[in-house]
Amino acid sequence: MPSPRSTPPRRSIRCRSAAPRVCARLVGRAPSTCRNSLTCLMFWPPCQTDPCAILRSVSCHSRVPQQPAHGPWRRAVPSGCALDFVPFGASAPAVDALIERYRGSRERSEMTRDSGRTPLVEVLLLGGVGEFGMNMMAVRCGPDSLLIDAGVMFPGPEHFGVDLVIPDVRSLAGELGRLSALVLTHGHEDHIGAVPYIWDLIDGPTYGTRLTLALLERKLAEHGCDTAGRLVTVEPSETVTAAGLDVEFVQVAHSIPDSVAVAIHTPAGTLLHSGDFKFDQTPLDGRPTDTHRLADLGRRGVLALFGDSTNAAQPGHSGSERYVEPALEEIFAGAPRRLVVTTFSSSLHRLQLLVDLADRFGRQVAFVGRGVVENAELAARLGYLRLPAGLQIAETDVAHWPPEKVLCIVTGSQGEPFSALARMAVGAHRHVRLETGDVVVFSARAIPGNRHAIDRLMNHIARRGARVVDEPSKRVHVSGHGSEEDLKLLLSLISPRCFVPIHGEYRHLTHHARLAEQVCGESVTVLLAENSDRICFDESGGWIGEPVRAGRVLIDGTRSGQVADEVLRDRRHLAVDGVVVAVLAVNAHGGGIEQATELITRGFVLDEPTEALLDAATGRLRALAAEASVEERTDQGVMGERVRVELQRFFRKRCGRRPLVLPVILEI
């Protein structure tokens, strides 16, 4: 193998932190003596063992070709260094993912060792870091903690019967101390949706802007929560004292009005939470991001910036809300019949733009769907939505107006099965029907995981003869989150000493971390953290401390509380293998078997004819009952357990399935 000096690395990454630097390097191909072409990815402290020497020491031995010892993507740890052999020619995303995994884990390990320092302030990441939704973090200084946001995450397909997922705050009472205040950055569900479920834990006021608290108050009322004297309205540029800390609110532009960033002035320094933001210099409400105040905070010194990473991988600037106006104008001008637009019901800027266009093109506006109706009513009452007199009509009146004179703003942009648009698409809505020539506009991005449901909804719409317009065909949506250039601008304005990317999946966090290194160079310590991490700060900087046990709580629609892990496990079992109910009738006096023995199945897909298999299973059930003693048959607990075990064994042997067996022993 050539010497290290003559073979430049393919890629080198340096991780800056409060701990000694850790480097990653991809070093050429493994020697030709190896059975498989491998690339070696290694991390090592630069002052220690020569990486090429390590590669020689392990790759030239007979154990390397033997796949169980060192196969592709298998780790070896020679000389105290992390080492992986990667298939030569592996895709760039795969290699990048491995680099980021080692980079984060090694950097976290090194910084944890720096925990001999005593932190003045701790930040606990409880949700929204490494995932979309469920945004929540706690700032603890002394015995009190300050919560920033309390959002929900909508469940994935693996969460059977679950409606919402929230951070598990109750189990962290010892870590959080007294929750003496809650601060909200804006009124989206992924930032306020969990508040009703932790309302009894907050021992102090909740701070938010006027619209944010109005949305929250309605939600709390639905859950029967007492809000008397606990909601404190703040204005951007205002400073309050919460949990013993000075908390300043800074105006930012987002897809919902009254959004703010939060600057927490602590004994260690200023922590700035960006909230959800972008730099829109021409917002519809005339309230752009306050760059002057952000720059002033940067000049005064910011210890740490917690930055929104949602669009970190999107190049350029996020467009102004006004950028969608030309495309929507073209659609309004060319729509021959009824126009239906679906968007996020909380995107009040988009609602305002649609209302203005409807007024300009002579169309009446009907809000259809509970979410958009309630939000439009609330926003209009508070002055955040301007509706000209006589422009709005009820959904019950849509059919009485000429189709070319109506705009329907509806819920269902994510393909929700019971939304207004979903019911229209299958002809099930009571008041609005889609017909040939109607135009349906999807003015919203597809949330990850919803693409299939949206495509299915679009197909139903097309079957009714309506035309579908969405983002790929026309620019009918802009994001409320800053893209690469927006994030770079914020970093340059703030120039933080430490940077923690938040709000996004891990790939978004790593991309944002790279942007911070590009903009701030050696002056910034990037702390690449995830949910459950504890970020510690003192006057000299920050580091990642010992993690907390930050779990999550599953909520169903019954309001009866949490969905236990055991319940979810049973639901998954039912979804995969189905259920078999075994009914066995036993004479209560003599213990004899009655003829009412039967099996009832649901969701049980079989490879052989169902009737024959169930007949055999029923026969086995009767034989089992006949083999049992009278004492066993008259003991429901004992007999039920025997039936359950025997039928599970029977189905596993006959068809390879493991249905949930529910024995029902009837005494007659």
Per-residue H/E/C for 326-385:
HHHHHHHHHCCCCEEEECCCCCHHHHHHHHHHHHHCCCEEEEECHHHHHHHHHHHHHCCC
User: CATH number of the domain at 321-469, out of 3.30.200.20, 3.40.50.10710, 3.40.50.300, 3.40.470.10?
Assistant: 3.40.50.10710
Q: Mean of the pLDDT values across residues 413-419? A: 89
Q: Mean of the pLDDT values across residues 178-190? A: 95
pLDDT of residue 85 exceeding 50: no
Ranges 99-103, 166-170, 400-404, 596-600, most confident: 400-404
pLDDT of residue 605 exceeding 80: no
Tokens of 423: 């019911």
Q: Mean of the pLDDT values across residues 115-142? A: 91
Q: Are 621 and 643 in contact (CB under 8 A)?
A: yes
- Name the class of domain 121-316+480-555: alpha beta
Domain with CATH 3.60.15.10 in the chain: 121-316+480-555
Domain with CATH 3.10.20.580 in the chain: 565-667
pLDDT of residue 75 exceeding 50: no
Burial class from Cβ neighbours inside 10 Å (0-12, 13-18, 19+) for residue 522 reads exposed
Minimum mean pLDDT among 479-483, 491-495, 642-646: which range?
Answer: 642-646
Minimum mean pLDDT among 387-396, 418-427, 595-604, 640-649: which range?
Answer: 595-604
Q: Mean of the pLDDT values across residues 337-352? A: 95
Tell me which of 102 and 239 has the higher pLDDT. 239
Domain with CATH 3.40.50.10710 in the chain: 321-469
For residue range 352-395, what is the model confidence (pLDDT) as tens digits?
A: 999 999 999 999 999 999 999 999 999 999 999 999 999 999 99
Ranges 50-64, 191-205, 605-619, most confident: 191-205
Q: Are 206 and 195 in contact (CB under 8 A)?
A: yes
Chain-centroid distance of CA 390 in Å reads 40
Q: Write the CA distances from 263 to 195, 241, 301, 306, integer angstroms.
A: 21, 12, 11, 10
CATH for the stretch 565-667: 3.10.20.580
For residue range 620-650, what is the model confidence (pLDDT) as tens digits?
A: 888 888 888 777 777 777 888 888 888 888 8
pTM score over 0.85: no
**CA count, 13 A, side-chain hemisphere, 545:** 21
pLDDT of residue 496 exceeding 80: yes
pLDDT of residue 490 exceeding 90: yes
Q: What's the whole-number average pLDDT of the chain?
A: 81
d(Cα 14, Cα 26) in Å, to the nearest integer? 13
Minimum mean pLDDT among 75-89, 144-158, 325-339, 461-475: which range?
Answer: 75-89
Q: Are 11 and 25 in contact (CB under 8 A)?
A: yes
pLDDT recorded at residue 273: 98
pLDDT of residue 30 exceeding 60: no
Which SS3 state, helix, strand or coil, does residue 47 take? coil
Q: Mean of the pLDDT values across residues 212-220? A: 96
pLDDT recorded at residue 611: 73
Q: Mean of the pLDDT values across residues 139-150? A: 95
- Binned at pLDDT 50, 70 and 90, residue 579 comes out as confident
